[in-house]
Structure 1
Amino acid sequence: MNIIYTVCNRINLGHALALADSVLLHQPNHTFYLCWVDNTPLHVPSHIKILTIEQAAIPAWKSMEAQYYNFELLAACRPWFALALLRQHIDCENLIFLAPSVLLVKPFEDVINASSYIHLTPNIKKPLAPSKILDDKRILNIGMFHSGSWMLKRGDNTLKMLNWWAERTVDRAEFDLCNGKNMDQLWLNYTLVWIPETTQISHPGWHYGLHSILNNDLQMRNGDYHIEGKPLISLDFAGLDFFDPVWSNHIALMPANNAFHALFNSYKKTLDKYKKLLPADPVPGYGKQAKIRENRILRNNIAAKLKSITAFIDQF
């Protein structure tokens, strides 16, 4: 048995449903689980299985729910849901996590190394092209690997690593880069220590998103999308359609690739068909409410300009 799962609340439920449909289309031999971190009942199509936060039985759930903002809580629960799924399905051989903002556009067998126990998605595979928006230092700050997609094979070491990871998201999964915390993501840096049989997915068509734009040119050719001569397999629209604490700061990279921009516009139209399944109240039932202002990026840019002006004045 192979399982693909995602973790969401009502904010990104529509995106998770779009992901589920893309899994049904391109990986029909995989069971899809929507792991639900919210307190309203769900009614979803039959090809989607649901695992609720209550069923995951996280020992420290009450303290986590009180400590984290709702977007931090989703990330903190990811390894716990992985453990719950592996407990529930002892016949599960391969477990794949994809963030709700991911969309499959082709089957992903070409990226799999059958001898590997874990597959990780590097944020970058070579030094970043120069940009004022995103640089190598910022990638180093958020972590070597993108927590929006990873795969693991059941084994003693992978279970030990998952338990170690989950224990750390109980109280160390805030988005606080200044204090060395980035939700669930920075802990993935240690995977290579735990599991030498780790594959870093190098296929340029895997998990294309804002982190890829500067180094990988996505192009439309003969009615299909390619990067470096390889077909596009999956997309990640993290940071574009709802607040993402890491990638929303880099939304200005979008115009750098017209093909990705066009795919995102098409994706937004696709999301419209899921609106009728979304709860009327937009506020998630669990986690502290994060009050994200729509003009936050503009305000940050103005603040940065003012700082540069005051720094210049201070010099003289």
Structure 2
Amino acid sequence: MNIIYTVCNRTNLAHALALSESVLRHQPDSAFYLCWVDNIALDSLPDHVHRLSVGEVDIPGWDKMQAEYYDFELLAACRPWFAIRLLELHTDCKNITFLAPTTLLLNSFEELLTSGGPISLTPNIQKPLLKSSVLDDKRILNVGMFHSGSWILKPGADTRKMLGWWAERTVDRAKFDLCNGMNMDQLWLNFVPVWVPGTVQIGHTGWHYGLHAVLNKELSLKNGEYLVDNRSLISVDFAGLDYFDPIWSDHTSLLSQNGVFKSLFINYKSTLKTPHQISVAEKTPGYGKLPDIRKNRNLRNGIAGKLKAITRYIEEF
């Protein structure tokens, strides 16, 4: 069997359910797991969605993790632990694929399952970045060469060891703290090629298009088909656009650089539906610290940057 899973809490539950519908449409033979990191019951999930709660996963130091991590950090820290548990539950699993809840499938990726290596990673960039004041090489180095929003793993001795090594580090080293060499679960992916010989970088241009790809990949709509550099769009990630994402929300201005991507996002937002059991008054996740994310943060940061530039000019001249 093949497994596709995502990890979410009530903040991104609607997004995870939209992903599940796209999986049912384009990868119907794969089992879809919604891995739940929250303390509210989910009693009315669609029949094709399997739920696995964090309480069913043996994560050492779980109480300390939820006390020290912000809720978005906690979600990322749990990702490899859920993968380990799913492989324990399904010893016949041939491929396990992680997709961030903000991802949407638009086509099958069966060819990637059959042609990939023991683990297939998604590079943030596949060629030198075009010059931009929003995203540059240094920022990519800060967040890591590989995008943790999607990867494909074939169970084996090397990949299981890598998962265990990765999971151990997310227990206490998965904060969003670039100055101290941490970026949630993501920077650890830089070491995967060392752990797993034969690691593959997914080169299909239509795989996992998002803010990281806007500068160097051309998304277009031709004869009703979405294409990325003239190849079919397989998956798109709206990370950073609909709710706060510590990495990609600083780059939301890139959305306006591709009108097709912007239209896709508008259509995507109109499809999001939260289950009735989570009311408007219950939007606060049950696990993890709550960050103080203020409205118009990007606008304020932009104004602050311009003011700093002015003061720097005055000091120099």
Shorter-chain TM-score category? over 0.9
- Which residue does 1:33 correspond to in 2? 33
CA distance in 2, matches of 1:259, 1:103: 15
C-alpha displacement at 1:90, in angstroms?
1.2
Structure 2 stretches lacking a partner, 5+ long:
none
C-alpha displacement at 1:113, in angstroms?
4.9
- Which residue does 2:13 correspond to in 1? 13
C-alpha displacement at 1:17, in angstroms?
0.2
For normalisation by structure 2, the TM-score amounts to 0.97
- Which residue does 1:161 correspond to in 2? 162
Aligned structure 1 segments of 4 or more residues deviating by more than 3 angstroms: 112-115, 273-280
Identical positions, percent: 61
- Which residue does 1:291 correspond to in 2? 292
C-alpha displacement at 1:139, in angstroms?
0.6
C-alpha displacement at 1:150, in angstroms?
0.3
What code does the residue aligned with 1:288 have?
K
8 Å contact kept, 1:219–1:226: yes
Q: 1:59 to 1:260 in 2, by over 3 A?
A: same
CA distance in 1, matches of 2:244, 2:116: 37
CA distance in 1, matches of 2:216, 2:85: 37
SS in 2 for 1:276: coil
RMSD: 1.1
- Which residue does 1:102 correspond to in 2? 103
C-alpha displacement at 1:210, in angstroms?
0.4
Matched, 1:220 2:221: yes
C-alpha displacement at 1:275, in angstroms?
5.4
8 Å contact kept, 1:14–1:278: no
- Which residue does 1:210 correspond to in 2? 211
Structure 1 stretches lacking a partner, 5+ long:
none
The Cα offsets for residues 206-259 of structure 1, whole Å up to 9 and x where unpaired, read as 000001110011011011111122101000000000110000000000011011
CA distance in 2, matches of 1:277, 1:118: 37
Matched, 1:81 2:92: no
CA distance in 1, matches of 2:266, 2:250: 19
8 Å contact kept, 2:113–2:152: no
- Which residue does 2:233 correspond to in 1? 232
The Cα offsets for residues 95-129 of structure 1, whole Å up to 9 and x where unpaired, read as 10000000000000233454610010000000111
8 Å contact kept, 2:95–2:113: no
CA distance in 2, matches of 1:182, 1:65: 17
CA distance in 2, matches of 1:144, 1:235: 18
C-alpha displacement at 1:313, in angstroms?
2.2
- Which residue does 1:201 correspond to in 2? 202
What code does the residue aligned with 1:24 have?
L
C-alpha displacement at 1:278, in angstroms?
3.5
What code does the residue aligned with 2:296 have?
N
- Which residue does 1:69 correspond to in 2? 70
8 Å contact kept, 1:11–1:283: yes
CA distance in 2, matches of 1:295, 1:226: 32
Written as runs of structure 1 = structure 2, the 5 A alignment for 1:93-132 is: 93-114=94-115, 116-132=117-133
The Cα offsets for residues 164-202 of structure 1, whole Å up to 9 and x where unpaired, read as 000100111000111111000000000000111111001
Which stretch of structure 1 is more off in the superposition, 202-211 or 278-287?
Answer: 278-287
C-alpha displacement at 1:89, in angstroms?
1.2
CA distance in 2, matches of 1:192, 1:279: 44
- Which residue does 1:269 correspond to in 2? 270
8 Å contact kept, 2:3–2:97: yes
C-alpha displacement at 1:303, in angstroms?
1.2
8 Å contact kept, 2:36–2:51: yes
C-alpha displacement at 1:279, in angstroms?
4.0
- Which residue does 1:137 correspond to in 2? 138
What code does the residue aligned with 1:40 have?
I
What code does the residue aligned with 2:68 have?
Q
What code does the residue aligned with 2:214 have?
I
C-alpha displacement at 1:274, in angstroms?
3.5
Written as runs of structure 1 = structure 2, the 5 A alignment for 1:239-258 is: 239-258=240-259
8 Å contact kept, 1:13–1:278: no
Aligned length: 315
SS in 1 for 2:276: helix
Which stretch of structure 1 is more off in the superposition, 295-304 or 110-119?
Answer: 110-119
CA distance in 1, matches of 2:23, 2:124: 23
Q: 1:195 to 1:39 in 2, by over 3 A?
A: same
What code does the residue aligned with 2:243 have?
F
8 Å contact kept, 2:76–2:185: yes
What code does the residue aligned with 2:185 have?
D
8 Å contact kept, 2:122–2:146: yes
8 Å contact kept, 1:115–1:197: no
SS in 2 for 1:225: strand
